[in-house]
Amino acid sequence: MQELISRVKAALREGRQLPFSAYMSLKEQRIANAPIVKPLLILVLAGVKQLGKEDEIVCPTGSFLFLSNTPTIDMRNIPGDEYFAVLIEFEFSDFDQFKSPRNNDNSHFQGTIDDALAKTLKQFVEWSVFAPRELWRFRRQELLQLLYLSGHEAVSSIAGHPSLSHRLHEIISEQIADDWSVERLAQRLAISESTLRRKLKAEGASIKSLVDRTKLGHGLALVQTTLEPIGRIAEQCGYQSQSRFTDKFKQLFGITPSELRKTRMPD
């Protein structure tokens, strides 16, 4: 796993946009309500990842976890010398290659990072440094096929159907720092405000909670993967006040951005 970690870190130093992200920490992290907007493959290369209210899902070093597009989940990252995980987010269209029906009840599956998956991941990381964004989907689809042919048939049905909330998340993410009103979002979808509210209510969501979750989820990723000042991250997420951003972040995730950032730093 150390060779793979080294290759991932080398790719990250290139400073390019990549089809994966890496989360690392030197101290334990507890994050409540982490948003999982799209199907997500988490490969734990060092430390242990636990998920759920009671830490019922355990993913040790050398294993992977594939999560469906569930609204939120509690996460706990436990380092040995460090915690290091590679995250690959998939598009819903990546799963069109499978004929199996999509199953919202299949929230996750787990497995071991065997030699075939480790070698494929190394190639994926090295290729990502120079490959154009337009080709990313082909390598994501190859990863899905590899998992399927390795005996993880559950991958064919792990992606639930994208909801209205997912569509709104994509719209908001395009201009994350903007103010997003019901009127503006309804115009983008070419539906009435009342219809938008009614459909979101049926999904158990609201415009305010969805906008906040999208902005704060982006902030969470920036805190975890960059060393940008917290005030700058707040601005990028559309918060004029760092204290307001911090309060909302703590309310949703159970930890402040500064506290989370400290888990990535040595004493």
Least confident of 76-85, 96-105, 144-153: 96-105
pTM score, whole prediction: 0.92
Pairing of strands 57-59, 48-51: antiparallel
Distance CA 260, CA 25 (A): 9
What CATH number is given for 164-262 in this structure?
Answer: 1.10.10.60
Structure confidence by residue, pLDDT tens digits, 5-27 = 999 999 999 888 899 999 999 99
Specify burial of residue 174 (Cβ count, 10 A radius: 0-12, 13-18, 19+). Answer: exposed
CB atoms under 10 Å from CB of 171, counted, come to 14
pLDDT tops 90 at residue 135 = yes
Confidence at residue 252, expressed as pLDDT on a 0 to 100 scale = 96
Structure confidence by residue, pLDDT tens digits, 229-262 = 999 999 999 999 999 999 999 999 999 999 999 9
Evaluated on CA atoms 58, 64, 66, 72, the torsion sign reads positive
**Phi-psi domain of 47 (left: phi exceeds 0; alpha: psi -120 through 50; beta: other):** left
In this prediction, what percent of the chain has a pLDDT beyond 90? 83
pLDDT tops 70 at residue 162 = yes
Residue 42: closest CA among 66, 23, 77, 20 = 66
Confidence at residue 105, expressed as pLDDT on a 0 to 100 scale = 65
pLDDT tops 90 at residue 223 = yes
Evaluated on CA atoms 54, 58, 60, 65, the torsion sign reads negative
State the CATH architecture for 2-157: Sandwich (2.60)
Going from N- to C-terminal start, the domains of the chain cover: 2-157, 164-262
Residue identified by tokens 């734990």 is 44
126, two tokens: 């090295």
Compute the average pLDDT of residues 92-101: 86
pLDDT tops 80 at residue 120 = yes
Q: What is the mean pLDDT of the chain?
A: 93
pLDDT tops 80 at residue 37 = yes
Confidence at residue 260, expressed as pLDDT on a 0 to 100 scale = 97
